[in-house]
Structure 1
């Protein structure tokens, strides 16, 4: 889509400088913003996927204290990594498994040195375009413009950028100053995180783009539709995580012992009984997280 599809200000250098100065003067402090270590930044990015940042901070500190680099994470028992992930409610346990495998790739395939470009970083297990670009930006200052939900909301409101992924990418790329992906991407994500929030705080947060912002001028603060995640409480995700945590406490458990620990309403032939539990375990087994032994009474253990 051409530039005519959106209206970026003519004096872009002034717009860029206003945002960067606003960010540098005052921004939220997170431990991953105080480092350029690609391992720590990758850990933070994977943890931050659909997880509140306040919860990520505590988990991040504990994780990097226990496994401070890719080599030690790669050497760790995978069940311990998955157990940590589940115990800190960090979302899908697959992310812990992928992070563990990515650390192994860095150690064995890249001789302990992290790849530095978005394309190379996507060779790591579980690392998609967004995460690869974030690591390249924040670790190596070598990324493209980041486009996440916050950035889309900022661009849509400030410069009337249409709700289209390619157009958002074009607009973000045109705005970002060359060779400044580390500071710029942090700054524009911060703008969306503290000023251009769902309920905007333009004046309270002293938004640096008020002079150019279409929404501020018109009062129309509509934003692109954001897919909502299904509730965690009572979800399959919750019971998958609970199963992993329980198995982390035992060498192995029979189905008859595991079921009541996973659900208080577990009954062998009930709606949430043996068949339901077997389906849950099949999912975890397909993900390589548990091993199910059907020789005699069915028993389950974490995959080591």
Structure 2
């Protein structure tokens, strides 16, 4: 044990209790039933700020259409982006990055996924959290995952201060060596079903009640959780509409595209606004904008 401000009493019992609780009963998601790094990467990218219940259908449909990284690499980017938009999976650049990552796996790694968190971060759009999740769940070779749910659990259970370095240290101390797959699934499940913003300690049978500081004191405060910006009417929603419309029409002048994107097209939301929106999409490699007799937008192929 390190000399820290928090306390993890009887760490072996804490570990055993959580793993036993998880293995006896947990939510079933199809990506938990595979160790295919490609399938797991797709699930992780789709799950970013998207409810897991909605991800299941999209994940299964995506893998039916592009079952391997090689299949995805061969796909037209516009088809991948169109799928993303149709299934309301959030920011379209995630689809672009996933497509580029598949191309890297094929061209730079001969079709074999890198296995460690550091190596996985070489893939386009794969940050530290996603890299660690794939390394953990596909190869059982990851570090302790620290997401919002895990921070909430550590803060409440062991009085870990609201500090990223402290959370990383506590999470690493807790995780048994060589057990990243089951451990990270288990601790995230604990945060997702028992130690939510409004905790369900007894109802969910939280395995850490015996040691939990919050359960003992009744103080269930936790670090603030960032809220998702309002989607309706947002720039993110408008970007998705542009891509969906161009998928249908392939190419449109802005004068015809605009009214299809916004019913109130004009004024503050006129051609200048639409050109800026299309320019952002062009920067992401999703759309091309060209000045002919008037400005024209098309999906990038």
Q: Shorter-chain-normalised TM-score: which range?
A: over 0.9
Task: Give the RMSD, CA atoms, in angstroms.
Answer: 0.8
Give matches, 1:272-283, under 5 Å: 272-283=269-280
Long gaps (5+) in structure 2: none
1:200 aligns with 2:169: no
Aligned-partner Cα distance in 2 for 1:273–1:292: 16
Aligned-partner Cα distance in 1 for 2:191–2:3: 22
Aligned-partner Cα distance in 2 for 1:3–1:159: 14
Long gaps (5+) in structure 1: none
Aligned-partner Cα distance in 1 for 2:15–2:138: 21
1:212 to partner: Cα distance: 0.2
Look up the match of 2:107. Answer: 108
1:57 to partner: Cα distance: 0.8
Aligned-partner Cα distance in 2 for 1:3–1:156: 17
Aligned-partner Cα distance in 2 for 1:44–1:24: 21
1:149 to partner: Cα distance: 0.3
1:287 aligns with 2:284: yes
Aligned-partner Cα distance in 2 for 1:211–1:8: 12
Look up the match of 1:132. Answer: 131
1:102 to partner: Cα distance: 0.1
Look up the match of 1:8. Answer: 8
1:238 aligns with 2:231: no
Aligned-partner Cα distance in 1 for 2:275–2:79: 23
1:5 to partner: Cα distance: 2.0
1:251 to partner: Cα distance: 2.0
Aligned-partner Cα distance in 2 for 1:251–1:89: 20
Look up the match of 1:159. Answer: 158
Give matches, 1:1-304, under 5 Å: 3-9=3-9, 11-267=10-266, 270-304=267-301
2:53 is paired with a residue of what secondary structure? helix
1:249 is paired with a residue of what secondary structure? helix
1:4 is paired with a residue of what secondary structure? coil
1:58 to partner: Cα distance: 1.1
1:105 to partner: Cα distance: 0.2
Aligned-partner Cα distance in 1 for 2:251–2:12: 61
2:248 is paired with a residue of what secondary structure? coil
Aligned-partner Cα distance in 1 for 2:83–2:57: 12
Runs (4 or more) in structure 1 with deviation over 2 Å come to none
Aligned-partner Cα distance in 2 for 1:78–1:72: 12
1:225 to partner: Cα distance: 1.2
Deviations 1:60-93 (A, max 9, x none): 1111110001000000000000011111111111
How many residues are treated as equivalent by the alignment?
300
Aligned-partner Cα distance in 2 for 1:117–1:223: 31
1:298 to partner: Cα distance: 1.4
TM-score by length of structure 1 reads 0.97
Aligned-partner Cα distance in 2 for 1:260–1:58: 31
